[in-house]
Amino acid sequence: MPDLHTDVAIVGAGPAGLMLAHLLHVAGIDSVVVDNRSHDDIATTHRAGILEAASVRMLETPGIDSRVHTAGHRHDGIDIRVDGVSHPLDFPDLVGESVWLYPQNEIYVDLAAARARTGRPTFHAVTDTRLDAVESQSPQVRAVTDDGEPLTVTARYVVGADGSRGPSRASIPETTRKRFFHEYPFAWFGILCEAPPSHEVLIYSRSARGFALISQRSDTVQRMYFQAPPDTEVADWSDDRIWTELQARVEGPDGFALRTGPIIDKTVLPFRSAVTEPMQHGSLFLAGDSAHTVPPTGAKGLNLAFADVAVLAPALVRALQDSDAEALARYSATATKRVWKAQNFSYQMTRMLHTDPTADPFEARRSLGELDSILTSDHGRRYLAECYTGWPHTTTIP
Ligand code: PHB
């Protein structure tokens, strides 16, 4: 494999890396993308499904041809159930916005196809990825390709969009890197099932037995989660036991009943908050989960990654085309502002909706008071709707 030279080397071919690659391509900027996973691995990983309107607009960028408007569904609200009592939130009414249900793996399929059409290179299933000389003006990404050939990509900038476990973050020296971390005393048990939707919109339910989320995938496949201890074993949960638990967490005086069906996937998902600052070191920029992880309760993970890219892409374009690196120098400060707002919202939703087995009785009652304050106030409901549907992007896409 010859050594490659490009403008931007992107580590990570997930939605953040490929969206960035596409926005750069549209502006006439070259990139090389590498990922240690295979195309099929990424395409079949089940992740979150809710898109803010600003994320949908990014998918409307010419050349992506996303199926978000044909295969995705607009959702005009969510339902928050508290001890079996439903509190519908109407987003257009409260804040004039909506969200879209369009799973992350479909986004990946759209973006991977768009990338392929540009003819610019993506290397999948690479091993031994290493970032070199990130403090210089010609940083390098080295890896071994899937057929065992050494690969060296020399670029003007490197972007680490390689998720929470990728190598990029560690290329920022520990002396400059700060990691903020919060652990929660629970995890989510996630299922995919073959059943019709149980409700028009997603249901976030707080109950004495713990939190449950009734989400969707399509007319025939649904996604649901329930709060469980972090050491929960999938093997201990039969389909019957799962349905009994989920139903117990949503039932109430209105007689609401879940539509059930065969469960086709069961996973226990980790649950934590983390932020790395700064999101830049020399010629290296972090985007998405490589810099921050949010608990899924606020549906912010992918949206936050896209928001990073919406700031980073035009800043890279200006630096490369106009030799004006000022916006790039402000990237970390600009992006982390939104990151902390999303961390706050995700933490707040989590704390208000879950039962904490380690909390004192005061905290349990207090969090119910917090939820009640929000749901019974027009201002509170508007606040929640604004956070959930997302704050405006700080920069326009190029
Ligand atoms: C999902 O559908 O996977 C999903 C939706 C909303 C969330 C988290 C996950 O808050």
Tens of pLDDT, residue by residue over 222-278, are 999 999 999 999 999 999 999 999 999 999 999 999 999 999 999 999 899 999 999
Would you say residue 396 has pLDDT above 60? no
Strand order in the sheet with 187-194: 85-90, 77-82, 202-206, 212-214, 221-228, 187-194, 263-269
Give residue 398's pLDDT: 47
**CATH number for the domain harbouring residue 166:** 3.50.50.60
Would you say residue 194 has pLDDT above 90? yes
Q: What is the DSSP letter of 296?
A: G
Give residue 46's pLDDT: 79
Determine, yes or no, domain membership for 9. Answer: yes
Determine, yes or no, domain membership for 230. Answer: no
Determine, yes or no, domain membership for 363. Answer: no
CA of 293 to the centre of ligand 1 (A): 14
Q: What is the pLDDT of residues 143-190, one digit of tens each?
A: 999 999 999 999 999 999 999 999 999 999 999 999 999 999 999 999
CA of 6 to the centre of ligand 1 (A): 36
Q: Number of folded domains in the chain?
A: 1
- The structure's pTM equals 0.97
Determine, yes or no, domain membership for 22. Answer: yes
Nearest to 43 by CA among 109, 134, 141, 101: 109
Extract the tokens encoding 110.
Answer: 């759209």
- Stretch 60-82: mean pLDDT: 97
Determine, yes or no, domain membership for 329. Answer: yes
Give residue 394's pLDDT: 80
Give residue 1's pLDDT: 65
Determine, yes or no, domain membership for 378. Answer: no
Extract the tokens encoding 9.
Answer: 């080397």
Element (DSSP H or E) covering residue 28 = none
CA of 373 to the centre of ligand 1 (A): 24
In the chain, the amino acid numbered 87 is: H
> What's the domain range around 148?
3-75+101-181+273-357
Q: What Å distances lie between residue 95 and 100, 314, 342, 383, CA to CA?
A: 15, 28, 18, 9
Determine, yes or no, domain membership for 136. Answer: yes
Percent of the chain with pLDDT over 90: 95
Q: Calculate helix-pair angle for 331-353, 301-322, nearest 10 degrees.
A: 180
Ligand 1 proximal residues by C-beta, below 6 Å? 48-50, 202, 213, 215, 223, 296-297, 299
Higher pLDDT, 319 or 357: 319
The catalytic residues are: 75, 204, 296, 300, 388
Atom 10 in ligand 1: residue holding the nearest Cα: 299
Determine, yes or no, domain membership for 314. Answer: yes
